[in-house]
Amino acid sequence: MGLHGRTALIALGAGINLSTYGIGVWSENVLMTSGAFVGSGAAALSDTYLLFATLGLFIALLVRVGVAARTGASNRHYLAWGLGPMLCAALLFLSGLWNSTGPLVALAAFCTGWSFSCQTLFWMASLSFEPAQLSRAFPLELAFAAAINALFVAGFTDHQDLFLGCGLLLSTGASVILTRMDAALDRPAVVAPALSLERSYLPAFRAFAEVLFCVVALQTIAPTLNYMGLLGALSADQQQIAVTAAKIAAAGILAVVLRFSRAPLYSIQVFKVVTPILILLLFVVPFAPGTYLFVILVAGSCLHFIVTNSLFCIDAVTIARRFRLVFEFFYGIGFAALMACCTVLEHIMPQLLAVSSSAELMLVFGVFFCVYALSMAFVRVRRRRRDLSAGARETGAAGAARAEARTTAAPDSAAAMAPRPNTDPIEASRSDAPTDAERVRAVQQRCGLSDREAEIVLLIMHGRNVPAIAEELVLSPNTVRTHVKRIYRACDVHSRQDLIALCEGAL
């Protein structure tokens, strides 16, 4: 199976997993809260089901993160930890025994939550091995999920247990096939987490905190549209139709965003643009008809699928590759934090929105606007601090370079071109392109460039443009352009070609 076939298999398995999650784990689905899912004879056990599904989800996340930390690799021992619970849940649902007693309800729920977590990390880690396929895989995943949802609406609304059982078997089978395919590749860890926690993972988590903060803020506001739809007494079929339409719309929008956007971190950019629109939509709710509730239910679900199920993972891949991290360990911790926030919101939002007057609703939506304002302030403060820190480092590096130049008799002498004892990005890249790195080192010493500017010069020599540099270094394009202008002034050049010529003639 070629690369495109592998991507299609991942998208299919992840799409099935996403659809089974919506029926088997999502606690706000009226199929479950009404007791229809567990059956009229066991309606009192619906809370038990939700509790054990949540427990299974989080315990599996912790286990998989621990395995990734222990082995220093992604997807190691996946079948050993996941195959048993997946098959157990599938057999319980297909046999119809899962809701015959309280313990079996709890077991089925726990195994379903466990299966969802294991498979989510498995599929996302599998995609991280082929980052060039991300723009194809995620829209395709949502398209498959929409088709599966349509199948559910057409024939399985009254047989949710059969749908869940078949879905679990199919997604498990797809993951087994992919595991066998990838076993021969024996993908090693890039960096062992225990050996580089402070140097690599903590800076990466600081960068990822901005993404997580924006996604959680969206999760505070966007699901409100879903809950408003629920409070509008939409039937189970109407909800599933809305979710299906949302997945179709999300697939198309996501394909366009990934095709034309060059943002280094997509979640933050979407948050900036979309959140004010969401808040305006919410302010209309107290005065809108029932049709409007259905429309905003589709809009809220669409945004959820785009951001939480897709862009969150894409941004995690970008940061993990930038810092050379074990993806499953890094993403698993971030995903656990996101799921914890979602779980809290799913319990708080229905009570928060169950108010009796339009004035109270307007007050709630005003709070959402404050959430947006505080989130933007947080992002701006973090970036301001980062820019000030970068400026201080650049000033210090430039001063040190000028002092070194004054004490050097000839700038082109062997002493001037000798590498400094500290390790930096240019030094680290010598194994990949030693000749270019040595030339950039010479230009850095001669012109007083900072380590970050030297890193950008090396990427320019390798043919990267501004968007590519921004994506690789996890910077905004404007920040990269500012660095490039400083580099031109320091080196007394006026174009990329002049800069490359300067570096090529440095040694």
pLDDT band at 50 (very low <50, low <70, confident <90, very high): confident
Percent of the chain residues past pLDDT 70, beyond the cut: 69
What is the token pair recorded at 81?
A: 């930890």
Residue owning tokens 């440095």: 506
At 252, list the tokens: 């198309």
pLDDT at 193: 44
Q: Which of 121-135, 169-183, 199-213 is predicted least confidently? A: 199-213
- The average confidence (pLDDT) of the chain is 76
Are the CB atoms for 23 and 29 separated by under 8 Å? Answer: yes
DSSP string of 221-233, one letter each residue: HHHHHHHHHHHTT
**pLDDT interval class at 300 (50, 70, 90):** confident
Q: Is pLDDT larger for residue 419 or for residue 175?
A: 175
Among candidate residues 476, 265, 196, 230, the one with its CA nearest the CA of residue 353: 230
Q: Phi then psi for 152, rounded to 5 degrees?
A: -60, -45
Q: Report the alpha-carbon distance of residue 309 to residue 124 in Å, rounded.
A: 10
CA separation for the pair 160, 211 (Å, rounded): 35
Burial of residue 67 (number of CB atoms within 10 Å: 0-12, 13-18, 19+)? buried
Lowest mean pLDDT among 313-317, 322-326, 366-370, 394-398: 394-398
Amino acid at 281: L
Point out the least confidently predicted range of 377-391, 422-436, 462-476.
422-436
